Structure 1
Amino acid sequence: MSTTSFQLIALVLLLLLLSSPVNSVNVALNDDVLGLMVFKADIQDPYFNLSTWKEEDDNPCKWFGVTCDPYSNRVTELHLNGLSLSGHISKGLLRLQFLHTLSLSRNNFTGFITNPILTQIIKNSQVIDLSQNGFFGSIPEQLFIQCGSIRSISLANNKLTGHIPDSISSCLTLQNVDLSSNQLSGGLPKNIWSLTSLRSIDLSNNFLEGEIPQEKIETLFDIRVFNFSCNNFSGELPEKIGECLLLKSVDFSDNYLTGTIPLSVQKLSLCNVLNLRGNYFAGELPEWIGSLKSLEFLDLSVNNFSGLFPGSFGDLESLKSLNLSLNRLTGDLPESLANCRNLTVVDFSRNLFTGKIPIWAFSLRLKGVSLSGNRFIGDVGFGEETAAAFETLEILDLSLNSFSGAIPLSIGNFSSLVFLNMSFNGLIGSVPPSLGGLKAANVVDLSHNWLNGSIPVEIGGAARLNQLRLDGNFLTGSIPAQIENCSVLRTLILARNNITGSIPVGIVNLPELESVDLSFNHLSGSLPKELTNLSNLVTFNVSHNDLEGELPLGGFFNTIPLSSVSDNPSLCGSIVNQSCPGAHPKPIVLNPNPSHSDQGSSSLNLSHKRIILSISAIIAIGAAVFIALGVIVVTILNLHVRNSVSRSAAVALTFSGGDDFSHTRSPSSDYGKLVMFTGDAEFVSGTHALLNKDCELGRGGFGVVYWTALRNGRSVAIKKLHVPGLIKSREDFDREVKKLGMIRHSNLVLLEGYYWTPSLQLLINEYVSSGSLYKHLHEGNSENTLSWRERLDIVLGTARGLAHLHRMNVIHYNMKSTNVLIDCSGEAKVGDFGLVTLLPSLDRHVLSSKIQSALGYVAPEFACQTVKITEKCDVYGFGILVLEVVTGKKPVEYMEDDVVVLCDMVRGALDGGRAEECVDRKLNGDFPIEECISVIKLGLVCASQVPSNRPDMEEVIKILELIRCPLEGHEELE
């Protein structure tokens, strides 16, 4: 019997049943059977999990996923979780009159949540779990009107939009609410705390905003779990939240909350989890936190806490994970933490801590220790008390401090160590051979220290190495051939040392290699030809060495940038525009006037030479044909790759939000993950495919930007990131990009979404039509030049955008005129902000190499390892940009026999009373000289060499607003 016939029969039987007045037990039982069979007929069951469901059975109580009442044999529960079921929920379930629990989570069901059948099922049930499906649309107000006795509802991980209906506050029987991981917006419902039966509420990973209601929260006597993380909530935490005495988990992380931790929180004696990371809480850490004896997980990172680390934290004997990173805490780490015997992970990175590493960091059986980005000093020593850590420690990050002395030989005893980072310190001595004992290590980073000696051959013993970074030291000797034993190596960075010898041939046996940087050394010899077989290679930098011979031909090396092989005088090949000796046959020259005495011989020679010439011609023609075929093949492959990317994006764009593709999509992992923050969209394929070179808008330190269009005709700008080997893991990338996507301001370029595969990362940005400020200042003609009023408005708009970033705790790091875009109304929009957060750590060498294009904008503190990078580096770049806008000149200009630094030139003119000479001549005198001088002075103050002398951006905005108001006088700026 066909599926269609079966559906018709089932529906006819159901209609007969609905019209029949018979109420016998058997008919009632058949009611359940037919109801479930109609439900089954409307869905797809790819793995035949419902094969036990048969219409000839008297009752369904033995069917898979079905639970019945033991006395009446009526269906009471339906659990069909994680079966890859798809389709729509039909009215068959309405026949299950005694159904009180419906759980269909982790499937591929779709449809509007406003479906009347679905609404009726929810009203008639007590427990509903429709999480991790594909339901969409807004939650209807009527869903919670006359909601009956519903106790638990989960609609998490769907594609729901709109507001949470106010009617939910009337469902007084609700105990568990989970609406997490959707796209819900707006504020919390009115009277949300009227749900006095609540035990758990999870609204995390949405776009909810506004303040959290203060009143009546103390009436939630049974509440155990609060999870409002990853939203846009603002204001302060409810002062009486600590009156909810049964609370076990409190998570308000990644919002915009301010103020201090409410004093009442100290009453939460049962609390296991307290997570307030990623907000704007300030003040000192309260001593009373030590009274929360049940705490196991405490995360106060990414806030503005200051002052000393309270010793009372040592009283948290149940504590397992402690994260205080990215705050402004000072002083030494307390010795009392040695009492926290259950600690497994501590993260104190990016603070202002001083002193030495406390003994407990290695005496406890910790799995992770991160002290990066502080002011710790002294030797890195592993004494007898370290024995416990040798077996357990998996992460050790001591980077960006002032540690000195040698790396202990016992470093190789950490048998479980996966991640080791000691970069940017003052470590001396040699790289210990014992590093080869790190059998589990994926990452070893000892870059930017004072290490000398050679790279030990024992490094080959660390066979699981994924990244090896030893750049910025004083290493000598050759690269050990044993490096080929690290068969999964992807990143090899040995730049800026004194390494000699040749590149070991064994490097070609590392098939996973993606990023290699051997620049600024003294390497000699030729490049192994087999390097072309490394199919995953993205960067290969051997510039500034003494290499010789022909560059390999094929694969990555056909398109290798000149900058990656420059300053190797003896290298030859087309990339370096230098022919190789013996690469071309000697041209044959025929004598047009042979002598008569040699006529016979000449005829013979001429015939021979003609033969040779024709062979040469054949070889040349053959080579040309081979090259042409190669170009055609490469072009076809490129088109195939572009079409694949375009197709993957087109397929992906039918979903939005934070989920991976559902099981109804193609299972190919090549499609990766695409997330749109601004709703569903589809790219136009075909003429304007993604990453079409003809649609390239520009290039920067972090990647190339392309234009493309959505199906609805709206344009977007797609940035293809190019930081090989440095992009964070997918989870970290997701989290950081979502943070950037939540930053909204009229003077900031909107991040609309992103696309991820392991080899390709795209950022989807708002398209700003009128191009960059750089283009308007330096590439436009005099007829279309910006007026003074337009320039002042652009400067003010840029300041407002930058100030908003700083309020969000985001440093731009790459402030320059190419990153300020102008929209069709002349409004400035700051773009490319916060991209450095996508890197695993603030590696200043990497960062500086990424912003070389920002020559002249870079604050002087970037060159000093001991100075902490703050928002003031953005203020410096802004100051240079202000001078650029006023003068129309680039920050650094190269003349025939001189280099002109804009900041110095303007300062000299101002000191000499010639400030008006600095104003852009394109303005033709059409500007108020007083305003210009005031703006110049502001630019110079912002570009002060001393960070503390620079104003913050809020102050800059006030000054600019004063300059724009002629009635307010400018004497304060004189």
Structure 2
Amino acid sequence: MLNNDTVSVGFFLFLFLFIAVSEPTFNDDVLGLIVFKSGLHDPLSKLASWNSEDYDPCNWVGCVCDPATSRVTELRLDAFSLSGHIGRGLLRLQFLHTLVLSNNNLTGALNPEFTHLQLVDFSGNNLSGRIPKGFFEQCGSLRSVSFANNKLTGPLPVSLTYCSTLTHLNLSANQLSGRLPREIWFLKSLKSLDLSHNFLQGEIPDGIGGLFDLHEINLSNNWFSGHLPSDVGTCSSLKSLDFSENYLSGYLPDSMKTLGSCSSIRLRGNSLIGDIPEWIGEIASLESLDLSANNLSGHAPFSLGNLEFLKELNLSTNLLAGEIPETISNCSNLISIDVSKNSFSGHVLKWMFNGYSESSSLSRSGNDTLLSMVGFLHGLRLLDLSSNGFSGEIPSNIWTLTSLVLLNLSTNAFFGSIPTGIGGLKVAEILDLSSNLLNGTVPCEIGGAASLKQLHLQRNRLAGQIPAQISNCSALTAIDLSENNLSGGIPGSIGSLSNLEYIDLSTNNLSGSLPKEIEKLSHLVTFNISYNSITGELPAGGFFNTIPLSAVTGNPSLCGSVVNRSCLSVHPKPIVLNPNSSNPANGPPLGGQIRKSVLSISALIAIGAAAFIAIGVVVVTLLNVHARSSVSRHDAAAAAAALAMSVGETFSCSPSKDQEFGKLVMFSGEADVFDTTGANALLNKDCELGRGGFGVVYKTNLQDGRPLAVKKLTVAGLIKSQEEFEREMRQLGKLRHRNVVEIKGYYWTQSLQLLIHEFVSGGSLYRHLHGDDNVCLTWRQRFSIILGIARGLAYLHATNMTHYNLKATNVLIDATGEAKVSDFGLARLLASALDRCVLSGKVQSALGYTAPEFACRTVKITDKCDVYGFGILLLEVVTGKRPVEYAEDDVVVLCETVREGLEEGRVEECVDGRLRGNFPVEEAVPVIKLGLVCGSQVPSNRPEMEEVVKILELIQCPSDDSE
């Protein structure tokens, strides 16, 4: 059957073939371009000049012609906002050699007939499907190909190796999988190769050394394993090498020392071992060296000082020790130094600043002299020395780092005071001096760092007051001064920092009441003042309506609803009268009589009030008992009536006859009847299967013995509209997926709603992971459960259904071990009846699964909340630990523990100890990394569930023999 596109293209072909026959000046270029245009949607009318009455396409937008022949040789439609398919009309342009359709919204599969061109650029579209096996078979003239940033899948076609003239190949940011064919090194003309951000796996084959013209190679962000190619150093023309974010292991190959022309080497995020070799200093042209997040050990080589052109040095997150070699001061072009998360030691700042101290005769006016003193640091934009063993004082002339954007000295042993010169960091955006031994005060000069966005001074020994000048840093989004000895009040000037999202002033000696100006901070996500001596009433409204108790605890004199402590009302002082003032002229004093009268009246009032309250309590209690009894009778009768009816019929008694009857609908249309014990089951706690955020689930049976699960909703009073409820139930009833619990039907009355769904015999995932039956799931079972949950969630998201409440108790396991997602859909029904914050508290009842954006009222809640919950659940399945566990005097957050294990190279230790090594590391490690990505604090960093499924399918080993 013909679709609209086929009819449209067919019509234009007929039309222009007719014109071509009747009009001799009409050429194939015009015909091909008009037919191509007919298959596109052009919302910005970029192709308005493409007119079939104009027989000269050389004047059309995007077209370039050969002046001699007036035939179209180039078509460049980059970023035209075009959508639709890449039609075959372009094949009529016989002289076309350059086709650029990048950065549009084109869809569909690749057409293998375009490889007669010299340059093809389809990057930045939504092309999908596999690259056809024969795509590159006729590529004799092809020079440059870019399909980057699409959705192409499958392996690299072997026909790619036929393109002997190919010089540039970019297939990055797709979903390509499989191994890298050894034959790719047969492309001797290659100058640049970019296969980054795909799912390619296996070893990188040797043979790359034969590509003598190769300038750039980027294989980053794939699943490659094994060693670096031993012959990579023979690529004598190589300028950029990027194999980062893979699973490569072993040592740096010695052949790399011959990469004399290389300016960039990036190998971060692998599992490389051994020392950083001294020959690294022989790569004289090196400008960027990134060896971070590996398992490299030993010392930083002295030969680093030979790299005079070096701009970026990143050795972070390794096992390096010793002192940073002072030879680095020869690298006068450095703009970024990151050696964080190692075991380096020494007084690094002392030699970095050439020992300059405040007693020196130099002054700020001597800029040239000072720049020579700080030497190679004068152009530095990033300095990260965090999480090492560095010591010493912070130099007073730190203000001379006029280009510094990020300074992180946290988690070291730096001591002394924070120099006043810190305020001279005019362009610094992040300042982190936390977890050191700093004392003294927070200098008021901090206000001079006007560009600061984040200020972290927590876990030091700072004293004194919070300087009011901090308000001069108007761009601040985060302030953390916790765990110090700060005193005094919180300055009201903080209220002018309109961008603030995070404030942590906990565990200090702060006093006084909270300034009213803080109520103006409309973007607050976290405000922690716990364990101080703050007094008075908490502000009302906005963020402070939902502030958690943990953020204000430890302030005995703080009052308000959050701390469950009422604030004393402020009344004018009573007028005190002289009891003798009304005495008779010569009479005795009446003070004692007046006191007795007052006490008697007060006592009578108190007694009367107490009696009144007691009577009221009794009356209300009796009314509640009566009401509950009435409701129970009503619900029981309604349930009994409903569950006794035919499953296939919709029954609704007239209200005038009996209002206890409601409406029962079963989606299957079968004529089954519930067992008469079904209604009683709802009232029998022995048949209870579990309780969730929306109701209680019971097991019941059809008359033929088949079990069903019935959820009795405890939020019935919130569902006002029967029409809305039934519409949502019909949508849920259409859902069919092996990893989603099937909804069988429903029952409705105004006061009682039942949700009927399939009974899953294996119980909840929570019971399998944390139950007392001592049954340990195998790795294969765990992986199958993770993949099943991912597939079920992806299906729900594809039907525009957000779960909101993913946790271990809402995943059921059937008799075959298959995971089924349950308890979905009701959040959407209640979203209009509940405030979002109330809804999140109602739904996200399990600690640890809640996406952080639930805490921010201004952030849109999306499917990415489910992805976050899935990431936490994935880690729970792999580790066997709950998302949050309570130790003797600490709280252990699973996500943080696993992330620390990953950073410290202990990721394999995170797998459930009961498996005792009976799991494939090549699956476990990437699965854990995927869980951490899904559990990212930033929603945009989390993948879609459809992508998660594909990644898991790629991770999964082809054989089950690894158990």
> Shorter-chain TM-score: what band?
0.5 to 0.7
CA contact (8 A) 2:371 2:378 kept: no
Distance 2:510 2:372 in 1: 42
1:452 to 415, 422, 439: 439
Which whole-Å deviations, capped at 9, do the CAs of 1:559-593 have from their partners, x for residues lacking one?
211111112111122221222222899xxxxxxxx
Q: How does 1:567-582 map to 2 (within 5 A)?
A: 567-582=554-569
Corresponding residue pairs, total:
671
Query: Is the alpha carbon distance of 1:210 and 1:389 closer, same or farther for their aligned partners in structure 2, counting shifts above 3 Å?
Result: closer
What residue is the counterpart of 1:15 in the other structure? 17
Match of 2:479 among 461, 478, 492: 492
* Deviation larger for 60-69 or 6-15: 6-15
Contact 2:64/2:73 (8 A) holds in 1: yes
Q: Report what 2:323 is aligned to.
A: 332
* CA deviation string 1:700-719 (max 9, x = no partner): xxxxxx987699xxxx9994
Counterpart of 1:927?
none
Matching of residue 139 in structure 1 with residue 252 in structure 2: no
Match for residue 112 of structure 2?
A: 119
Distance 2:427 2:262 in 1: 35
Equivalent residue letter for 1:187: R
**Contact 1:490/1:725, CA 8 A, preserved across alignment:** no
Q: Is the 8 A contact 1:157 1:182 kept in 2?
A: yes
Task: Name the counterpart of 1:61.
Answer: 58
Take 1:806 and 1:356, find their aligned partners in 2: how far apart are those partners? 29
Give, in whole Å, the separation in 2 of the partners of 1:828 and 1:388. Answer: 47
How far, CA to CA, are the matches of 2:163 and 2:246 in structure 1? 27
CA distance in 1, matches of 2:471, 2:137: 68
Q: How does 1:281-300 map to 2 (within 5 A)?
A: 281-300=272-291
Task: Work out whether residues 813 and 833 of structure 1, in 8 Å CA contact, stay in contact via their aligned partners in 2.
Answer: no
Please name the residue that 1:396 is paired with: 383
The 8 Å contact of residues 813 and 836 in structure 1, kept in 2 or not, is answered as no
Give, in angstroms, the shift of residue 137 of structure 1.
0.9
Q: Deviations over 1:392-433 (max 9, x none)?
A: 332233333444454333223333322222333334443333
Aligned to 2:145: 153
Counterpart of 2:71 in structure 1 is 74
Corresponding residue of 2:268: 277
Work out the CA distance in 1 between the residues paired with 2:885 and 2:551.
29
- Mapping 1:555-954, distance limit 5 Å: 555-582=542-569, 681=794, 683-684=796-797, 689-692=802-805, 719-722=849-852, 755=864, 764=871, 809-811=905-907
Residues 119-177 of structure 1 deviation map (CA, whole Å, 9 limit, x = unaligned): 21x23212111011100111110212233422221111101111111222223232222
Displacement of 1:104:
0.8
Letter of the 2:53 counterpart: E
> CA contact under 8 A between 1:17 and 1:31: conserved in structure 2?
no
Q: Secondary structure at the match of 1:346?
A: strand
1:430 is aligned to 2:417: yes
Match of 2:215 among 198, 221, 224: 224
Contact 2:482 2:507 in 1 (8 A): yes
Q: Distance in 2 between matches of 1:694 and 1:350?
A: 33
Which position in structure 2 is the counterpart of 1:622?
A: none
SS in 1 for 2:437: coil
2:489 aligns with 502
- Aligned partner of 2:457 in structure 1 is 470
Structure 1 counterpart of 2:15, one-letter code: L
Structure 2 distance, partners of 1:256, 1:307, is 21
Q: Which of the numbers 541, 550, 557 marks the counterpart of 1:554?
A: 541
Letter aligned with residue 261 of structure 2:
L
TM-score (normalizing by structure 2): 0.61
Q: CA deviation at 1:185?
A: 0.8
Task: Give deviations 1:652-689, integer Å, cap 9, x for gaps.
Answer: xxxxxxxxxxxxxxxxxxxxxxxx99899454599963
Displacement of 1:695: 9.8
Taking the aligned partners of 1:819 and 1:411, their CA distance within structure 2 comes to 52
In 2: Cα distance, 1:772 partner to 1:259 partner: 27
2:308 is paired with a residue whose SS is coil
The equivalent position to 1:539 in structure 2, one of 526, 530, 540, is 526
Letter in 2 for 1:809: G
Q: Calculate the TM-score normalised by the size of structure 1.
A: 0.60
2:203 maps to what in 1? 211
Whole-angstrom CA distance in 1 between matches of 2:420 and 2:804: 46
Structure 2: how far apart are the matches of 1:530 and 1:541?
16
Partner-residue secondary structure (3-state), 1:689 = coil
Q: Distance in 2 between matches of 1:710 and 1:226?
A: 47
Which amino acid in the other structure matches residue 505 of structure 1?
A: G
> How far off is 1:517 after superposition?
1.4
Letter in 1 for 2:456: R
Name the CA shift for 1:685/1:769 in 2 (closer, same or farther; >3 Å): farther
CA contact (8 A) 2:343 2:388 kept: no
Secondary structure (helix, strand or coil) at the match of 2:293 reads: coil
Q: How does 1:169-318 map to 2 (within 5 A)?
A: 169-189=161-181, 191-214=183-206, 216-318=207-309
CA distance in 1, matches of 2:884, 2:346: 50
For the pair 1:410 / 2:397, whether they are aligned, the reply is yes
Which ranges in structure 1 are unaligned for 5 or more consecutive residues? 365-381, 586-601, 618-631, 637-675, 699-705, 727-752, 780-797, 842-960, 965-974
Counterpart-to-counterpart distance in 2, 1:722 and 1:812: 27
Change in CA separation of 1:61 and 1:194 when aligned onto 2, cut-off 3 Å: same
Q: Indicate the RMSD between aligned Cα atoms, in angstroms.
A: 5.1
Percent of paired sites with the same residue: 46
| AA partner of residue 17 (structure 2) | L
- The one-character-per-residue Cα deviations of 1:182-221 (angstroms, maximum 9, x if unpaired) are 111110135222222322221111110111222x434333
Paired residue for 2:40? 43
What is the identity, as a one-letter code, of the residue corresponding to 1:453? Answer: G
Whole-angstrom distance in 2 between the partners of 1:252 and 1:67 = 38
Displacement after TM superposition at 1:320 (Å): 2.7
**Cα distance between partner residues in 2 of 1:803 and 1:548:** 38
Q: Which stretch shifts more, 522-531 or 687-696?
A: 687-696
Q: Distance in 2 between matches of 1:352 and 1:521?
A: 30
Q: 1:168 touches 1:189 (CA, 8 Å); kept in 2? A: no
Q: Which 5+ residue runs of structure 2 have no aligned equivalent?
A: 356-368, 573-600, 617-714, 720-788, 812-820, 827-843, 857-861, 887-893, 938-961
In 1: Cα distance, 2:183 partner to 2:73 partner: 32
* 202-211 vs 571-580, which moves further: 571-580
Opposite residue 493 of structure 1, the aligned amino acid is D
- Per the alignment, residue 105 of structure 1 pairs with 102
Distance (whole Å) between structure 1 residues aligned to residue 529 and residue 900 of structure 2? 41
- 1:75 deviates by 0.8
- Deviations 1:733-754 (Å, cap 9, x if unpaired)? xxxxxxxxxxxxxxxxxxxx99
- C-alpha change, 1:819 and 1:87, in structure 2 (3 Å) is farther
Q: Amino acid of the residue matched to residue 80 of structure 1? A: L
Distance (whole Å) between structure 2 residues aligned to residue 414 and residue 42 of structure 1? 57
Cα drift, residue 764 of structure 1: 4.4
Superposed CA offset, 1:80-136 (max 9, x none): 1122221111222111011111111111111123xxxx221x232121110111001
How far 1:231 moved relative to its partner? 0.9
> Are residues 539 and 439 of structure 1, via their aligned partners in 2, closer, same or farther at CA, if it must alter by over 3 Å?
same
Which amino acid is the alignment partner of residue 12 of structure 1? F
Give the Cα separation in 2 of the matches to 1:830 and 1:583. Answer: 61
Instruction: Confirm or deny: 8 A CA contact 2:335 2:381 kept in the other structure.
Output: no
Q: 1:685, 1:145 → 2: CA distance?
A: 37
Kept in 1, the 8 Å contact 2:506–2:529? The answer is: yes
Amino acid at match of 2:204: I
